[in-house]
Every structure is written in structure tokens, then in C-alpha cells.
Structure 1
Amino acid sequence: MEKYRPLDFYNIEQYFSDEEIMVRDLVRSWVDETIIPNIEDYNEKGIFPIKIISEMGKMGLFGCYLDDYGGAGMSHTAYGLICQELERADSALRSCLSIQGSLSILPIFLFGNEVQKEKYLPKMIKGEWISCFGLTEPDHGSDPTNMATKAVKDGDSFILNGAKMWITNGTIADMAIVWAKLDGDIRGFIVEKNDNGFSAPEMKGKHSFKSSITSELVFQDCKIPLDRLLPNVKGMKGPLECLSQARFGIVWGAIGSAMCCYDASVKYAKSRIMFKKPIASFQLIQNKLAWMLREITKAQLLAFHLGKAKDSDKATPEMVSLGKMNNVDIAMKVAQMARDIHGANGILNEYPVMRHMANLERVSLQGTHD
């Protein structure tokens, strides 16, 4: 197989630090050697090997932008580049990083007490404990303020009742960050897998994110100790701050999907012979490749600027949301155009484009144009 040729038409790499380039290249090599040779098999079988999570932990990818509790203390731009390389392989990998880091480690770091941080964060950062994030409900996707999941104080415990849906890694998780209403206020709770009244059945029948484990979280008089409440946040500020960090990763991750589709399209167009010459020699195909190059380059510039703004604490949630909207949108169009360039072959698992195209449909749901 011809080696992957990363796209950097405007030489943005010259502005990255040595550490940012080092971690990007580390993850890029790991993806090329370990994930890409097996990802179609994982996707076909609908599996996500747990060993991947421990390997990501050993590389220091979880909570990589934190300085404490075992975090690598990297920049947010480095985190973005990690997301780019993971999603170049498959959205399931970047989603795993987002859930474990931005939506599980981060809320404990920001809103937990010292005892909670010491107990959970080192294990989560090492990938020894897997976590998930429970906010979305069957009847409350884009309307979490009206969530039905509730917690009630009962002596020295909280009792949780309700359900969450579309939860990445829920079935394999050792713990969950769950958002529920307590006395009318949205609060964060830590639920462990062996807590009575808690179950996490896997959702089946997906045509997208097939190599990602997606689950429901069900709470039926689930009893947890009082010290599992995240004490330092109340209301939607908590989950929204964490979701903004996850969406920042998607800004970069979508570029990875697009880069993979572009790379596959260039290789295919050069090798596919039609009318006795490569289809890359026809202006129709050249125009499509040029459009893909243009849009990916713009997305890279947007992500780079956003990363530097986040590193200097000047990025707003609105900036992150706009970046995600733009980059996921162009990645979807790049994947569709790549499938078109590949012709009927584009739907085969010999090529990555249809898998990325399907995955991006799922990624776009995590905050759409609407």
C-alpha cells in the first residue's frame, strides 16, 4: 500500500512547536501501524478493542492538556493534532478520546473536589479506568435543560432514576459522569459500573460509528454515596463547558477524516485508468481534487487559529461551535466527493471513504447547522 501523504498546502506545520509535531507524529505512526490495518475489520464486526484505550493512555493522550494528576501538560493545539490523526483512522478513536478526556476527566478536574480528583483522575488519564458521559436522553437530545433523569437525597445516599442514550463507551465503562436534576438543578454525579440499579446495554443496528461502542445508561433506583456529587458546579454551565472542549477536538478531527478521503482520492485518481489514461488527467477530476484541497486548507487554517486562541485563553464557545460547524460540513462534502471520484468502488471497504462518509453523518449530529 502506498504510504499516506499528509496534506499541508500552506505549510502550517512551521508554526507548530516541536512538542506538537512530536506528539502528532507519534499518534500518526501508531495509527498507521496499529489501527488502519485493522479498522475495516473492527468496523465490519462492530467492535472496539479495549486494548486501544490502554495504548492511548500509555501515550499520554487522555487529559493531555492538564498539568496535574498525570496529565502530559501539552497545548490545546497538540490535543487538536492528536484528534486529527485519530479521526483520520476512524471517528470512533477520536470519539473515545473526547469522551474519556473532555467529557469525563475534565468535569472531575474542573468541578470535583480533591478527594475525587485523587481517586479517579490518575487511573482515567492512564487509561486504566474507562469512563463515559451521560447527558443526552431518549426524549431530550437538544433540550437537556428539560432532562427527565432525577436524583433524590436519601439519608447518606443519592437515588438516581432515568435513562441516557447515545453514550459512547457506556457498556465497557468503569464509571460514568451523569447529569441529573437534584432539587430542580442540573448536577453532575459519578456513577460506578457496579452500583446497584445501574446498567448500560449496548445499542445495536448502527450504520455509522460501527467500530464505536454506543450504549444506553439506565438508572432504576440507582444508589450512590453522597460523596459522588461533583460539588463545584450547578446548572448547564458544567456539561456545556465540557462539551465545548469536546467540540474543539471535533474541529480538528473532521480535518483528519477529510485528509484521509483526499489522500485516497488522489491515489485512486492516479491509478484508475479510463480511456487509456489515469482519470486524474481529466479536468473534471482535477477540479474536484482542487476543491477538496482548498476546503481542507481553509479548515486547517481555521483550526490552527482556534487552537492558538484556546492556548492563549481567548477562544469563546461560539468560536468553537462555528469551527465545528464549518469543518464537519466540509469534511462531509469531501467524503461525498471522494466517493464520487472512486465511482462504484467507493462503497467497498477496500477504500476508507464510505466508512468516513457514514461516520461523519454521526459526527454532524453532535451540534448541527440547525
Structure 2
Amino acid sequence: MDDLLTPEELGIRAAVRRWAADRVLPGVAEWYERGELPVVRELARELGSLGALGMTLEGYGCAGAGAVQYGLTCLELEAADSGIRSLVSVQGSLAMYAIHRHGSSEQRERWLPVMAAGEAIGCFGLTEPDHGSDPGSMRTRARREGSDWVLTGRKTWITNAPIADVAVVWARTEEGIRGFVVPTDTPGLSAPEIRHKWSLRASVTGELVLDGVRLPADAVLPGARGLGAPLGCLGHARYGIVWGAPGAARSCLETALEYSRTREQFGRPIGGFQLTQAKLADMAVELHKALLLALHLGRRMEAGSLTPEQISFGKLNNVREALEICRTSRTVLGANGISLEYPVMRHATNLESVLTYEGTSEMHQLVVGKALTGLDAFRG
């Protein structure tokens, strides 16, 4: 694939890979085992210095990078850990993207420069306890009270929520679904952390509990009306996953390859056995198909011709195949595959979450199915 990339794209990929090797890989196994990311704010500021936050956005201190440059960044971050890529995706492709695309000039000026620098962390409040795949049925409400808005409801599985400085919260109003920019120190808002996760453990996840949160009139995102607004943000984040998931798969395949050359059984390296080579060959084929698909979608995004159905196509294929590569790599490592000495099981458990968030595989199958047939199977 390198022959298809520009010198600038190769340079960004190399820079992010070096940063991840220096700043994430030495500590990520311990963070994962402890179920916390103690250096999250430090990492956020460093990612800001790299230009990785709100990377494709223009102005306000954002890098204004191309879609493929952003994709390669996601690839390298997820090769280190899905939780780090999630931090970047939620910050840039969800919270910052929503403010940049739908916000007022005042909202952009207040939040985007500090978020691009990693000095302020954002989160995106859409998913609710009873409404994941069907966000249009959300129960969180925003009602007018004089010139103010009052928000009541609950969001869950929100990456960055417990540490966020600002939340983009989606709520039902008399005018339909609207988005709100909510500083997290607003009275009535709490963000308890979700513990006891067995996936994305090196990532901070929580709830947003809104108990009569009073906001001024200018807290609403003026350009966001209807469910299409948050779904458009999700499409941007899903694109990053199309690139990120193969990064996790690449890490696992590289580990399996190295292990197969050095692990001996029956008097020779296991990489010399036909069954092991068949596994390695199949994994390599699926990984490189996924990378080429990601690159193709990236070029389409840069040309302004990428459709939501094509993003669903990419997320469905690449996450599903990446997870299978991780599982197969684990079999090459045998019992050692479950040890945190190696990254394989960590990547595999992380991808179980990636398989679900930003649209489950089943939802993306239905998106592609509707595109193929013209028939909507989402509702019976």
C-alpha cells in the first residue's frame, strides 16, 4: 500500500507510529490490567501537539489534514490500543466535529482551539441505557423555561465522560432532536465512571446523568436539527474505525508471525508447519484487503463522494475481519496468546467493543442490505 501514499501521508504515519511506540506501548498492558488510563490528560495534550485532535477540521488550531492522513493516524493508534484511538475519535470526530459543523461562531471559538490542543476533553452523549441502535427513541428531554433550556435524562457508554470538560448532548425537544454544548461543571450534570469492563480497559467510560441541567439559550447547536445531525457525526467517527481496526489486526499478525518463527515444537519452528502457514496466509490476505478498502474509502472521502452506505460497508468488513485475525493469532500463540505479555488478547477483547459501538454489525448489514434492495428492514 505504501506506493499509493504520498510522502506527507507516509510521514504522518511514521510520526504517529513513533509516538505510540514511545508513549503508549510501554505502559498500555499495565493500564489495561488496572482498568484505567491514568495519563489520559497528558496523552491528550501530546496528541494535540501531533495535530491528531480534530485532525481533518479547518481552522481553530486544527490541522486541516486529509482523510487518508487521519485514517493512517487511526491505524497507528489502534495498533497500540483501541482505547487510545477511541480517545482521539470521540474528541475529534464526534465532539469537535459536531461543534465545528453545527455550532455557532462563539461555540467554535470557545471550545475548538482548546480541544485541538488537548487542553480540554470532550465527549458525545447520544447512547442511552434503553436506546443504543435506535437513537431516535431517546428519552432525554430538553424543554424551554423562559430563555433557558432545561435538560433531563441519562446517557451511557460515553467515552471520556468522567474526565470531559464539555459534552455534546443530544435531546428530544418540541422542535425535534437538538444538540447542546454542555460544560461538565454545569450544576445538575454528573458523569459516574463505568467500571468492571473486560474490553477497552485502557479507556475512560462513563454515564452522563442530567438532572434538570439548566443551560442558556446559546448552548444549543444552531445548525443541528433532527436525527441526521448526530448520525452525520457518527459517520465521520465510523470512518476512523474502518482504518483503526486493521491496526489492531496488524499488531496481532505481526506478533503471530514473530512467534511462529521462534516457537519450536516437534523439533522445528511452528511457522514451518502447513496449518500455521495457512493461518498466516489467510490473515495476511484479509488484513491487506481491509487496508486497501480503507484507503479506497479515504480517497472517496477526500473527493467528496463517500456515502454512508460505503462507510457501513467498510466498518462491517474491517472490524469483523480484524476480530477474526486477532482470534486466529491467539491460536498461533497457543496458551501464551492469553497473556498480557503479548498484545493479542488485549486487542481481541477491545475489538469486541469496536464491533458493537458506532453501529453494530447487524445494523451495518441492514444499511448495506437496504442499499442493495431498496427495502428498509430496520422496522418490522
* TM-score when normalising by structure 2: 0.93
Q: Does 1:254 align with 2:250?
A: no
Q: For each residue in 1:241-270, what CA deviation from the matched residue of structure 2 results, as whole angstroms up to 9, or x when unmatched? A: 110010000000001000000000001111
Q: How far did 1:184 drift?
A: 5.0
Aligned residue for 2:132, secondary structure, equals coil
Q: In the alignment, which of 294, 299, 308 is matched to residue 299 of structure 2?
A: 308
- Give the Cα–Cα distance (whole angstroms) in 2 for the partners of residues 204 and 67 of structure 1: 36
Q: How far did 1:25 drift?
A: 0.6
- Give the Cα–Cα distance (whole angstroms) in 2 for the partners of residues 369 and 45 of structure 1: 29
Provide the residue aligned with 1:152 in structure 2: 143
- Give the Cα–Cα distance (whole angstroms) in 1 for the partners of residues 205 and 361 of structure 2: 23
Provide the residue aligned with 1:234 in structure 2: 225
Mapping for residues 48-63 of structure 1, pairs under 5 Å? 48=37, 49=39, 50-63=41-54
Q: In the alignment, which of 34, 52, 61 is matched to residue 45 of structure 1?
A: 34
- Give the Cα–Cα distance (whole angstroms) in 2 for the partners of residues 172 and 292 of structure 1: 37
Aligned residue for 1:218, secondary structure, equals strand
Provide the residue aligned with 1:331 in structure 2: 322
- Give the Cα–Cα distance (whole angstroms) in 1 for the partners of residues 154 and 119 of structure 2: 26
- Give the Cα–Cα distance (whole angstroms) in 2 for the partners of residues 368 and 122 of structure 1: 32
Provide the residue aligned with 1:18 in structure 2: 7
Aligned residue for 1:245, secondary structure, equals helix
Q: Tell me the amino acid that sits aligned with residue 19 of structure 1.
A: E
Q: In the alignment, which of 360, 363, 372 is matched to residue 368 of structure 1?
A: 360
Structure 1 consecutive aligned stretches of length 4 or more whose deviation exceeds 2 Å? none
- Give the Cα–Cα distance (whole angstroms) in 2 for the partners of residues 356 and 137 of structure 1: 26
Q: Does 1:225 align with 2:223?
A: no
Q: How far did 1:156 drift?
A: 2.8
Q: For each residue in 1:312-336, what CA deviation from the matched residue of structure 2 results, as whole angstroms up to 9, or x when unmatched? A: 0010011011100000000000000
Q: Tell me the amino acid that sits aligned with residue 210 of structure 2.
A: F
Gaps of 5+ in 1: 1-11
Q: In the alignment, which of 63, 69, 80 is matched to residue 89 of structure 1?
A: 80
Q: Does 1:212 align with 2:216?
A: no
Provide the residue aligned with 1:182 in structure 2: 173
Give RMSD over aligned pairs. 0.8
The percent of aligned pairs where both chains have the same amino acid is: 46
- Give the Cα–Cα distance (whole angstroms) in 1 for the partners of residues 215 and 190 of structure 2: 14
- Give the Cα–Cα distance (whole angstroms) in 2 for the partners of residues 100 and 233 of structure 1: 18
Q: Tell me the amino acid that sits aligned with residue 296 of structure 1.
A: L
Q: How far did 1:67 drift?
A: 2.2
Provide the residue aligned with 2:375 in structure 1: none
Q: Tell me the amino acid that sits aligned with residue 313 of structure 1.
A: G
Provide the residue aligned with 2:71 in structure 1: 80
Provide the residue aligned with 1:4 in structure 2: none
Gaps of 5+ in 2: 363-380
* Number of corresponding residues: 359
Q: Tell me the amino acid that sits aligned with residue 204 of structure 2.
A: I
- Give the Cα–Cα distance (whole angstroms) in 1 for the partners of residues 30 and 361 of structure 2: 32
- Give the Cα–Cα distance (whole angstroms) in 2 for the partners of residues 192 and 362 of structure 1: 27
Deviates more, 1:263-272 or 1:48-57: 48-57
